[in-house]
Amino acid sequence: MTLLILGGTGEARDLAKELVAGGEHVVSSLAGRVARPKLPDGEVRVGGFGGPEGLARWLTENDVEAVIDATHPFAEQIGANAATAARETNTPLLRLARPGWTEQPGDDWQWADDLGHAARLLPGLGDRVFLTSGRQGLAAFAGLDLWFLIRCVDPPEAPLPRRHEVLLDRGPYEPAKERALMEQHRVQVLVTKDSGGGMTAAKLTAARELDLPVVVVRRPLRPETASVTTVQDALTWLSVTTKGSPA
């Protein structure tokens, strides 16, 4: 039988590596939004399934034993599709999601419900913005007369803010280099999504050291399902679910 892992996150790659090493047939599905993704071990497919109906059909045709949704915390559409398809096909579904970030002493965080809310908060916080929310949804900031340093992995698409500079880069990042980058560009406020994990958390440390406000976009709600935060817990769940015994 087949195990389907949704997502190209670090957790997804780590899980695939463990399962393939254990002799499991694993298919990892990537959205295809990143030009040069880091590929996991095992079989890889790129692109959508055609909505929940297409995913349900794929699960049935490929005799999928369980689905692990290890997508990015903000990939809400595929999460909803996975929940619907798993329910329709009676396929066990697990959500593997790293914990969100936690505000530390010295932080000045402003929570936003979405990117539009984040954009509305900015005029009162600073004129020079370090925008690290990814290349999607940047239209929310296009109408602001502020200066933006936009960092993303691949080039963003218009519309963009009138005054901006694009920095193409991929983590992991280091606090000292993040601080130097913010000082170089005279950044006054940081915008980020609550992605969690250590790969991009250095910017939060740098903002704390520089006494900069941070606008943090909350994670969208996901369908209720079994959920874990570590790869080891995911392996245990899979062992119990597919083999009836703990790992």
Query: Are 132 and 212 contained in the same domain?
Result: yes
Round to whole Å and give the CA distance between 20 and 22.
5
The percent of residues in the chain predicted with pLDDT above 70, rounded, is 97
Query: Are 76 and 146 contained in the same domain?
Result: no
Query: Are 85 and 8 contained in the same domain?
Result: yes
Does pLDDT of 245 surpass 60? no
Query: Are 236 and 136 contained in the same domain?
Result: no
Q: What is the pLDDT of residue 35?
A: 66
Query: Are 82 and 128 contained in the same domain?
Result: no
Q: What is the CATH number of the domain that holds 232?
A: 3.40.50.720
Query: Are 13 and 90 contained in the same domain?
Result: yes
Query: Are 92 and 119 contained in the same domain?
Result: no
Q: How many CB atoms lie within 10 A of CB 93?
A: 23
Does pLDDT of 132 surpass 60? yes
Helices and strands per DSSP (H, E), number in the chain: 7, 12
Query: Are 204 and 142 contained in the same domain?
Result: yes
Query: Are 64 and 80 contained in the same domain?
Result: yes
Q: In this structure, what token pair is assigned to residue 238?
A: 């899979």
Q: Are 42 and 68 a contacting pair, CB within 8 Å?
A: no
Alpha carbon separation from 130 to 78, 114, 117, 204 (Å, rounded): 28, 17, 16, 11
What is the side-by-side strand order in the sheet with 163-168?
108-112, 213-217, 189-193, 128-131, 147-152, 163-168
Average the pLDDT over 136-151 and give the result: 96
Q: What is the CA radius of gyration of the chain?
A: 19
Q: What is the pLDDT of residue 31?
A: 83
Average the pLDDT over 110-133 and give the result: 97
User: How are the residues of the chain apportioned to helix, strand and coil, as percentages rounded to the nearest 5?
Assistant: 35, 25, 45
**The residue type at 137:** G
Q: Which domain holds residue 167?
A: 108-217
Query: Are 153 and 227 contained in the same domain?
Result: no
Does pLDDT of 247 surpass 50? no
Q: In this structure, what token pair is assigned to residue 67?
A: 């689905």
N- to C-terminal Cα distance for the chain?
A: 18
The percent of residues in the chain predicted with pLDDT above 90, rounded, is 86
Q: What is the pLDDT of residue 38?
A: 84
Counted domains in the chain: 2
Query: Are 35 and 49 contained in the same domain?
Result: yes
Residues 224-244 have pLDDT tens digits of 899 999 999 999 999 999 876
Residue whose pair of structure tokens reads 């090493």 in the numeric block: 21
Query: Are 184 and 201 contained in the same domain?
Result: yes
